[in-house]
Amino acid sequence: MGSLRAVLLSEPDQKVVAVLPRAYVHHFLRENPSKRELLLISERLDQRYRHQILIREEGPVTVEQVNGWLDTLESQGFFETLREEYGLE
């Protein structure tokens, strides 16, 4: 991501701010733990997203089917794995 690169490549006396998705920062730091000390990361959220699924009436799948699939994924720990891997809440 260009914004993070700008922060990391800036001169020490420059003040550079970048707004990045928390999941991206979490993933970047897992891959580059030595860079953590170079960054000041705010705990303040800029945005919060609520994702939804749209299902077409008379479509090939029903709301009940999709909810069943989501329940299965949740009970198998799939979403928890994603939350941990990407630092999601």
Q: How many CB atoms lie within 10 A of CB 7?
A: 19
- CA–CA separation, 45 and 33 (whole Å): 22
Q: What is the pLDDT of residues 5-63, one digit of tens each?
A: 777 777 777 777 888 888 888 888 988 999 898 888 888 887 888 889 999 999 999 99
Judge if pTM exceeds 0.75: no
CA distance readout (Å), 15 to 9, 59, 66, 75: 11, 52, 47, 45
Domain ranges of the chain: 1-48, 50-89
